[in-house]
């Protein structure tokens, strides 16, 4: 996108689950290189919005554009291959596999089917394997996972598992990263670590980030702008401090 053009643009998104209206007329625009916060009480529609953007729950109304291309109605794996990677609220790693192999999965999962077919050609496979390894090494280095690279993922601490998830998402070489409560269940030290790694990865890999986070201190510390949802509707959007200090937001939080 040209400068000033948003990388991600959602317009008037609405989504129902049966009779439950999870999102009502939600619009947002995320600019290249910014960290955009998605805030709101439990059940306010944050995850549904992320699931709409990533193709898991396409919205019944509204449009979503990524880098100028319409992506609502596009399947999740295709959206991933267009350059949007995400992490999940609950750690979803492949148990029994090493840290290294989990991160490598992040590359294979997004490989084009014709590229997978080419795996039969040893020359192609070997070249691709070297590129995969190089990329993964860079990410292991960036997220300081060297000491646990060969450990089965289930034996390492939760804070590190979260970091492996982040690494797996980055392995797909996304331009936009969506983080769903990356600090959930972490202690203060782990939280600070994850914030540092997110900021480092953003700089090193030139990412645009959309982040769902409950910790307001984290949101105000790292986000440029934020959108606050309540009951599936937008109650504030703008520069982060203005958005989170909006009277409607304070009322919603105290009321909730
Ligand atoms: P948040 O992420 O802010 O906690 P959610 O997006 O998970 O909120 O939920 C918003 C609303 O949508 C809630 O009322 C929730 O019960 C409903 N909802 C979300 N996903 C589903 C689903 N798959 N089926 C039915 N209702 C859902």
Domain limits, the chain: 1-83+175-256, 91-173
Q: Which CATH architecture has domain 1-83+175-256?
A: 3-Layer(aba) Sandwich (3.40)
For residue 37, pLDDT beyond 70: yes
| Strand order across the beta sheet in which 69-70 lies | 20-31, 6-17, 61-66, 69-70
pLDDT score of 1 more than 80: no
Q: Does residue 208 have its Cβ closer than 6 Å to ligand 1?
A: no
What pLDDT was estimated at residue 65? 97
Looking at the predicted structure, is the pLDDT value of residue 102 above 60?
yes
Place 239 in a pLDDT band, splitting at 50, 70 and 90. Answer: very high
- 85: which 2 tokens? 């990677």
pLDDT, the chain, mean: 89
| % of the chain beyond a pLDDT of 90 | 66
Number of helical H runs and strand E runs in the chain: 10, 10
pLDDT at 251 over 90: no
Q: Is the CB of 17 under 6 A from ligand 1?
A: yes
Find out whether the beta carbon of 256 lies less than 6 Å from any atom of ligand 1: no
Which of 21, 43, 212, 226 has most ligand 1 atoms within 8 Å of its beta carbon, as the pocket-test mutant? 43
ipTM of the complex: 0.97
Please tell me the distance between residue 15's alpha carbon and the centre of ligand 1 in angstroms: 10
- Closest CA to ligand 1's atom 21: 17
Structure confidence by residue, pLDDT tens digits, 140-158 = 999 999 999 999 999 999 8
Nearest atom in ligand 1 to the alpha carbon of residue 232 is 10
Give the model's pLDDT for residue 131.
80
Q: How far is CA 33 from CA 169, 209, 214, 225, in A?
A: 17, 7, 22, 12
Atom of ligand 1 nearest to the CA of 212: 2
Residue nearest to atom 14 of ligand 1 (CA): 43
The whole-model pTM stands at 0.90
Query: In this predicted structure, what is the pLDDT of residue 214?
Result: 82
């Amino acid at each position: 996108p040209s400068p000033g053009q948003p990388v991600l643009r959602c317009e008037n998104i609405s989504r129902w689950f049966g009779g439950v209206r999870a999102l009502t007329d939600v619009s947002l625009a995320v600019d290249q290189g910014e960290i955009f916060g998605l805030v709101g009480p439990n059940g306010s529609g944050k995850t549904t919005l992320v699931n709409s953007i990533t193709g898991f729950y396409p919205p019944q109304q509204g449009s979503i554009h990524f880098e100028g291309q319409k992506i609502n109605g596009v399947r999740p794996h295709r959206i991933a291959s267009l350059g949007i990677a995400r992490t999940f609220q609950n750690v979803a790693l492949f148990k029994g596999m090493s840290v290294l192999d989990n991160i490598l999965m992040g590359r294979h999962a997004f490989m084009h089917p014709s590229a997978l077919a080419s795996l039969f050609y040893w020359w192609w496979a070997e070249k691709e394997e070297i590129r995969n390894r190089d990329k993964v090494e860079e990410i292991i280095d960036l997220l300081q996972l060297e000491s646990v690279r060969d450990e089965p993922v289930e034996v390492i601490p939760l804070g590190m598992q979260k970091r492996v998830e982040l690494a797996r998402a980055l392995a797909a070489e996304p331009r936009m990263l969506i983080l769903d409560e990356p600090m959930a269940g972490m202690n203060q030290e782990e939280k600070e670590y994850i914030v540092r790694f997110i900021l480092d990865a953003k700089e090193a890999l030139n990412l645009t980030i959309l982040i769902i986070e409950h910790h307001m201190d984290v949101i105000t510390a790292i986000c440029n702008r934020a959108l606050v949802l309540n009951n599936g509707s937008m109650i504030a959007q703008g520069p982060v401090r203005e958005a989170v200090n909006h009277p409607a937001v304070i009322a919603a939080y105290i009321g909730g």
